[in-house]
Every structure is written in structure tokens, then in C-alpha cells.
A and B are shown apart, each in its own frame.
Chain A
């Protein structure tokens, strides 16, 4: 089988004619033609004749110009090389053009479906709440499916009207709100109360330093209360140093600065340390570091008043000792009534990690230290 010729020359037109004028092309570059398809019209002296293609193929070159006189045997067209039809790319469509991209998708498995929740109130109701200054979170819904309806918002707005304006919580108040909520949610608070008979204290005793020393004595007797609880990893760290977070009430709110290494300080050093912290609180110059890392907490609320309390500790500490106002109390001493000064003690502890026994032993040690004369 012969390879089809690349170049097609003007064939013999018969009747001794040696050349013809090219009148027009019927094909263009790149056209795919079939055998017999007219390539051009040429004019001889006698007639206009169509020159059919000798083969199928793709036109690579038109070898003559319109108007040119082409000799028989001279090149007319050139085909793209190769036998048979050129297989040009299959467009894969019959109309338009379908773009082909080379991107490859790698899709991860996807979750299907989701459910939502949240406050239920229509936009109109929300708009009313906003206009009336009502926090939707404070509204008890009475509509179907716990939906807050217009009447609910209006009710709460009436209540607000009878109270003061909303005072946003900032700074330490905000922190207290956040921390206490957290404590309430996480800590298993248990409490134990006791009274310490302090009639043996010398005059001008400093209750704060005595409490700090007693606290240290309690920790030494029962180290389980000087510890941090990691609820996520379910573990506790018993701490070597006793760093006491001292609750301080101030106009700005509750501060809990930390006095470091209480066991290693003399009473004078303890006093100086507490004074420095108080000054820093009043002067608003407490550093962040001074508020962190307490191993146990102390709330001496006695100067303000009150006997017993259930103070809330802030994790990760596991205990907080509260001391109320000392008072004269009629006690039984050696079987006879006697009036002695008594200091009320309240111990709150995290029962997730501290047992009642540990708490009791701790508190007895604290009491014992406080009941000493010096």
C-alpha cells in the first residue's frame, strides 16, 4: 500500500493544456478534506473546472495564489504528512465547547447533616428586644418550643423599667463572675466549720500573721490541701511551697494576690509581705504574676463581719480557709462556764480530690496552731 503523497500537483487537464489559472480556493489551511472533495476551481481556455482532492487529509499549505497561472505538474496543495486521516482531538460534544481542566480533586469524607440550637426568637422579636434593651438571655420563653415571644420581651422590659440601668461587668467583677461560674460548675465544694479559742493570744496580736502561720501548720499536717487538681488529666500535684492567695476586698472588686512561701517567712516578713500586697491593691499596681500560682487560699473576712461562710475556691487550688469575726463566747472550760474570745473558722475544700478526713485533720491542725499563745 503506497503512502499517500504529501504534495498534490495540478493534474493533467486534458486536451494538451499545459497550465490553468487558479480562480478560487474551496478549502483553507487546516481543513480536513476527503477524497473527491473540490480543492479549487481553475480556469482553462475552455471551462472552469474543479480540482478534486486525490486523498483524504489535512491541508498544510496552499501552493498557489488566486489569479496565478499554475502549470500542470506544479504543486497545488500540500497535505500534512502521514497516511490516512489525521485524528484530531475529539471535541466530545456536538454544540459549544466543553472545557477540559487538569485539576484533580481529593475530597475528604464529609459529615452529612447537622443540627442547631440556640435562643429561639424571630427577627421581629429580636428587634423589639434590642430596641427595649432587653437581653434575650434573661428572658424566660413562653412561646411554643421554648420560643421567646413578643409578650415575653415586653414583660422583661417592664421589669427593667422598675430597676436601674444595666451595669456591664468589667475588670475584676467580670473576672469574678466568670471564675465563680466556673467553680460552681466544676468544683465539688464541701465545707467544715470550727471555732478556735484564742483567749491565749497576747495583746496586739496580728490575726493575719497568726492565720497565715496556722495555715502553714495545717498544710504541714495535711499536705493534701496544699495541692493543685488537674481535672482533665485526673491528677493532683502536691506543692512543696505554700503560696497563699489572700482574698482582698476593694472598691474595684475582689482581688486575690499571692503571698509566696508562707512557711519560710518570719511573722515580720509575713506582715511586710501582706502590707506590700495591700498597698499594691490600693495603688492598683499589682502585677499579673502576683495574682497567679496560689497553692491554697485564705479569706479573712472577720474585719468585715460574719461568722461562718462557704467561700468558693478557684481551681486548681483545692482548699480555701475562711476566718470570721472573733467574738466573746461562753465556753465550757474544765466543766465551768468561762468567757473566751473565739475565732470562727470555715474550710471549703474540693471533695473531688480532698477527703473529709484530710480536711478535718487539716482544720484541727489549724485550730491547734491558732489556740497557741504564740
Chain B
């Protein structure tokens, strides 16, 4: 005799479609907030384009562009509280900027300077994480500490579609579920893990349904819809803060740029697919929505772009003017106190610098 012991369904959320048209009732948000958010998205885009250009002119190392992810990154960070902790991958420039990391620090990181990860803003946020998905177990640890101390804080773990294949993700998901951790997983499903498309990454119909394996709720959202991202994130953060446990959010978006500035996606992506994805670009969609509401004019756009570019240029100037790190920096942050045996090596390099 057979009975069904479990079923699952996965919801998909969208509030504004790709033409900037509302789909149903919208949450309340002030015009000022909308303009601010759009401004942060544009700031992210202008920064990103400038960073790519810096790399192309040899003034920045390999850079991972966030082109096309602006709504997701700005949206998820906007609804976090200052005391929450963000654990990013390495593409969430917009999220870090909203959280208060100055643009010149991001440039320093990509410029190969560890001082870029000594965030001026959010002191407890984790730095960019290169080993894929390893930040998921860190997030579980951070959330464990929060829960142990009874704090009303949440850990937000960003990961990509490729990362969702990795053991670290499943292990963290499992722990989050069984320990009821205040942890929100945000999978930025931009359809590509370097050259591996989603269809070759997993047999799952959705990445959100991996939540079922952890016994936690999972849902999809249109990652290019700022308002939907904010709404879904906001609800997940509230749940976690209340002690009701973790959520997995799969945000659907598209990686409009290359994996990094050393990659050439034209080697493996059909041009038609990329062209079609440009039509779902989050920036014009929001702008058209705001214009439709009478909240945004051409003058606003012109002024915003000028402001953003000026901010970016100030950051670039600050980055380029950064004095080079001392070679002894390699030693000074390995331990709280430099061990005697390392002091000799440090002296050697300090001497060489002056010798």
C-alpha cells in the first residue's frame, strides 16, 4: 500500500515585470526610497563599468562584474539591518556598497590589496570568499553564535547557482534547518557558473527546492525586480529574527557580463540568449516604473548619472592614490602577536626594503 508522505511546491514572486508594469498589489514604499534605491542601482552599474575599464587599462587586477545583478544586490542589502551580517561571494558589489563599504575599498580588493577587506563600514560582515560555497558553513557558524546569544540578528549568505552544488552548501543548509538558525540563504541564480549553464549544473527544476532537503522553506523571486526582492527578503529576515528559522531564496537573474575580466563568455554563450537577457535589465525596468508613476524625469536621470560618475571618479582617484602596502604587512596580521620565529623573517624583509 502506498501513501504520499510529502509533497512540495515552490512559489515564484514578481511585482514589476520587465516592462516596468506592476503585477498586482505593490507594497508601500516612499518615492524617496524608490529614488534612493534606483540611485544605488545606477551607482553600482557605473562603478562596475568603471572597474571593468580600469582592468582593461591595467590599473585593476581580475574583476568579477556584477552587471545585471543590481536589483538583487541592492535589494537584499537594503532590507538588512546594520547589526545583521552579510557573507557574500565575490560579485555583490552593490550589496557591499549599500552596507557601507566605500567604493575605493572594493577597488583595493580587486587591485590586490588586502586593506580592501578591512571594511570601513560594516565591521562584522565577511570579506569576499573565493573558495566556492565555503561561506555557507561560516554563515551557519555566525547564525549559531547569534542564536546562542539570543540576539535579534540575522546572517545573510549569498551564493551562486554553481555553489548550490557544493557540499558546504548542503551541510550548512542541513544545520540551519536542524538548529533553526537565523540564516537566510540567497542563491543568485544568474544561469551560468563560468561556462556551465544551469541545465548542466543540476537536475533540479528549481534551486529553491533544495531547501526541502534541509527541511526549511524555499521560494523563488525575480532577481531583477527590486521590489519583489525587497519583499521576499524582508519576510525571510523577519522570520529569522523572530526565531522561526532559516529561509532559502532563489533569485532568478542573468550574468550579463563575463565571469571575470579574464573570461570571454562569447566562447560558450549564444549571442541571442544574451541579447534577450538585456531586455530584462533591472535598471530600465525600474526607471520605467518610476517614470510611469510620475516619480522620475529626464533631468533626474541626467543629474543622477552625473552624481554617480563623480562619486566613482572620487573613489577611483582615492584608489589610485593609495600608498602601496608595506611588505611587512604580510607578517603583521597573521597572528595577534608576531611570534619570535617570524620576527626574524619580518626583519629580513624590512631590511631588504631599506637595503
Q: Are A and B interaction partners?
A: yes
CA distance A23 to B267 in the complex (A): 33
Q: Is B274 an interface residue (CB 8 A)?
A: yes
Q: Which of the residues A56, A88, A97 comes within 8 Å of B271, measured between beta carbons?
A: A56
Q: Please, which residues of chain A bring their CB within 8 A of the CB of B56?
A: 30
Q: Is A85 an interface residue (CB 8 A)?
A: yes
Instruction: Please classify how large the interface on chain A is, using the bins under 10, 10 to 19, 20 to 34, 35 or more.
Output: 20 to 34
CA distance A354 to B281 in the complex (A): 105
Q: In this complex, what residue of B is CB-closest to A85?
A: B266
Q: Please, which residues of chain A bring their CB within 8 A of the CB of B263?
A: 91, 94
Q: In this complex, what residue of A is CB-closest to B112?
A: A96
Within residues 212 to 270 of chain B, which ones have a CB less than 8 A from any CB in chain A?
A: 259-260, 262-264, 266-267
Q: Is A41 an interface residue (CB 8 A)?
A: yes
Q: Is B114 an interface residue (CB 8 A)?
A: no
Q: Is B305 an interface residue (CB 8 A)?
A: yes
CB pair A28–B287 under 8 Å, yes or no, is: no
Can you offer 10 A-B residue contacts whose CB atoms are under 8 A?
A23-B298, A24-B305, A28-B49, A32-B266, A36-B276, A37-B275, A41-B301, A43-B302, A48-B298, A48-B302
CB of A36 to closest CB in B, whole Å: 4
Q: Is B191 an interface residue (CB 8 A)?
A: no
- Supposing A34-B278, A41-B301, A94-B262 touch, asked if A26 and B49 sit within 8 A by C-beta, the answer is yes
Q: In this complex, what residue of A is CB-closest to B42?
A: A24
CA distance A35 to B61 in the complex (A): 28
Q: Is B317 an interface residue (CB 8 A)?
A: no
CB pair B266–A48 under 8 Å, yes or no, is: no
Q: Please, which residues of chain B bring their CB within 8 A of the CB of A88?
A: 264
Q: Please, which residues of chain A bring their CB within 8 A of the CB of B279?
A: 36
Q: In this complex, what residue of B is CB-closest to A26?
A: B49
Within residues 272 to 293 of chain B, which ones have a CB less than 8 A from any CB in chain A?
A: 272, 274-276, 278-279, 281, 284, 287, 291
CB pair A96–B278 under 8 Å, yes or no, is: no
Q: Please, which residues of chain B bring their CB within 8 A of the CB of A23?
A: 298, 301-302, 305
Q: In this complex, what residue of B is CB-closest to A91?
A: B262
Q: Is A110 an interface residue (CB 8 A)?
A: no
Q: Is B59 an interface residue (CB 8 A)?
A: no
CB pair B305–A34 under 8 Å, yes or no, is: no
CB pair A47–B298 under 8 Å, yes or no, is: yes
CB pair B264–A90 under 8 Å, yes or no, is: yes
CB pair A90–B302 under 8 Å, yes or no, is: no
* Secondary structure dominating the interface of A: loop
CB pair B278–A37 under 8 Å, yes or no, is: yes
Q: Is A154 an interface residue (CB 8 A)?
A: no
CB pair A93–B262 under 8 Å, yes or no, is: yes
Q: Is B117 an interface residue (CB 8 A)?
A: no
Count A/B pairs, Cβ under 8 Å: 69
CB of B117 to closest CB in A, whole Å: 17
CB pair A96–B301 under 8 Å, yes or no, is: no
Q: In this complex, what residue of A is CB-closest to B276?
A: A36
CB pair A97–B305 under 8 Å, yes or no, is: no
Extra contacts besides A36-B276, A96-B62, A97-B62 (6): CB < 8 Å: A23-B298, A34-B271, A34-B275, A38-B284, A43-B298, A94-B260
CB of A100 to closest CB in B, whole Å: 14
Within residues 46 to 87 of chain A, which ones have a CB less than 8 A from any CB in chain B?
A: 47-48, 50, 52, 56, 85
CA distance A130 to B206 in the complex (A): 80
Q: In this complex, what residue of A is CB-closest to B259?
A: A94
CB pair B62–A95 under 8 Å, yes or no, is: yes
Q: Is B36 an interface residue (CB 8 A)?
A: no
- Supposing A23-B301, A85-B266 touch, asked if A36 and B275 sit within 8 A by C-beta, the answer is yes
Q: Please, which residues of chain A bring their CB within 8 A of the CB of B284?
A: 38, 50
Q: In this complex, what residue of B is CB-closest to A98?
A: B262
Within residues 186 to 218 of chain B, which ones have a CB less than 8 A from any CB in chain A?
A: 194
Q: Please, which residues of chain A bring their CB within 8 A of the CB of B298?
A: 23, 43-44, 47-48
Q: In this complex, what residue of B is CB-closest to A93?
A: B262
Q: Which of the residues B262, B274, B287 comes within 8 Å of A97, measured between beta carbons?
A: B262
Q: Please, which residues of chain A bring their CB within 8 A of the CB of B259?
A: 94
CA distance A48 to B297 in the complex (A): 7
**Which of B194, B296, B305 has the largest count of A CB atoms less than 10 A from its CB?**
B305
CB of A191 to closest CB in B, whole Å: 68
CA distance A30 to B57 in the complex (A): 11
Q: Please, which residues of chain A bring their CB within 8 A of the CB of B115?
A: none
Q: Please, which residues of chain B bring their CB within 8 A of the CB of A30?
A: 56
CA distance A185 to B210 in the complex (A): 87
CB pair B287–A96 under 8 Å, yes or no, is: no
Q: Is B53 an interface residue (CB 8 A)?
A: yes
CB pair B262–A28 under 8 Å, yes or no, is: no
CB pair B275–A96 under 8 Å, yes or no, is: no
CA distance A91 to B261 in the complex (A): 10
CA distance A34 to B276 in the complex (A): 10
Q: In this complex, what residue of A is CB-closest to B62?
A: A95
- Supposing A23-B298, A90-B267, A97-B262 touch, asked if A34 and B274 sit within 8 A by C-beta, the answer is yes
CA distance A37 to B284 in the complex (A): 12
Q: Please, which residues of chain B bring their CB within 8 A of the CB of A32?
A: 266
Give me the 8 closest cross-chain CB pairs, A-B, nearest first.
A36-B275, A43-B298, A48-B301, A35-B275, A36-B278, A24-B305, A95-B62, A34-B274
CA distance A92 to B296 in the complex (A): 44
**Which of A23, A30, A90 has the largest count of B CB atoms less than 10 A from its CB?**
A23
Q: In this complex, what residue of A is CB-closest to B274?
A: A34
CA distance A96 to B263 in the complex (A): 10
Q: In this complex, what residue of A is CB-closest to B194?
A: A94
Q: Please, which residues of chain B bring their CB within 8 A of the CB of A85?
A: 266, 271
CB pair B264–A48 under 8 Å, yes or no, is: no
Q: In this complex, what residue of A is CB-closest to B256?
A: A37
Q: Which of the residues B53, B274, B305 comes within 8 Å of A28, measured between beta carbons?
A: B53
CB of B233 to closest CB in A, whole Å: 27
CA distance A95 to B296 in the complex (A): 40
CB pair A95–B262 under 8 Å, yes or no, is: yes
Q: In this complex, what residue of B is CB-closest to A96?
A: B62
